[in-house]
Structures are given as structure tokens and as C-alpha cells.
Amino acid sequence: MDERQRRIGLNEAVFREANERIEEVNRTFEPLTGELVLVCECGHADCVEEISMTAPAYEELRSEPTHFAIVPGHEILDVESLVERHEGYDVVKKDEGVPQRIAEATDPR
């Protein structure tokens, strides 16, 4: 297993798990703002940028264990592919192999 790919996958899994917890808190404020404020789920361990999306968009994102929401430009093209662009965030899909296996194994849902 490529150590770099494993590390990137685990970083993304940590951010996804953080967003699951943040999403619970966001639900309290979402009726007022219309959006959830989440952390970028990119593989860069030092990233602390935020993204916003609606609750339905978040649920659609979480329906695919290999999909992650990131700040535009944060994609790491040797482990993932850009699949969607939205205002304020992009969605990437983990490539087959190690990245995909880690994403599926760490899916909190």
C-alpha cells in the first residue's frame, strides 16, 4: 500500500467524521441560515478552510462513501477525480484501489 495514499485517505476520513459531528450542531442553525457550515474534506492535513452547502446537498454527498466535499483547488488528482463543481465547493471521488478502499472502510454511515 502506498503510504502517501493511505495518509491522504485517513486525513479525508477524519475531516468527514468531523463534518458528521458538525452537521449535528448545524441542524440547529440550518433553519435560520439555510446552509450547513462544514470543514473542507481534502487530504491536506493542515487545511482548516470552511465550505457551506444545504442540508439536502450534504445528504446527497454522504450517500456516496467515496465522495468528499472540498474547497475548489484542493483536489489531489493522483488519488481522486473531480466529479462536480458547486458554488463554494467541489466534490471529488476517490480513485479505485487504496483511496477507494479507505473511503469505504471509514464511511461513518
pLDDT of residue 102: 84
Q: Where are the domains of the chain?
A: 3-105
d(CA 63, CA 29) in angstroms, rounded, equals: 22
Residues 97-105: what's their mean pLDDT? 87
Q: What is the pLDDT of residue 70?
A: 97
Distance CA 60, CA 43 (A): 20
Query: What pairs with residue 51 in β-bridges?
Result: 38
Per-residue pLDDT tens digits for 21-75:
777 666 666 566 678 889 999 999 899 899 999 888 999 999 999 999 999 999 9
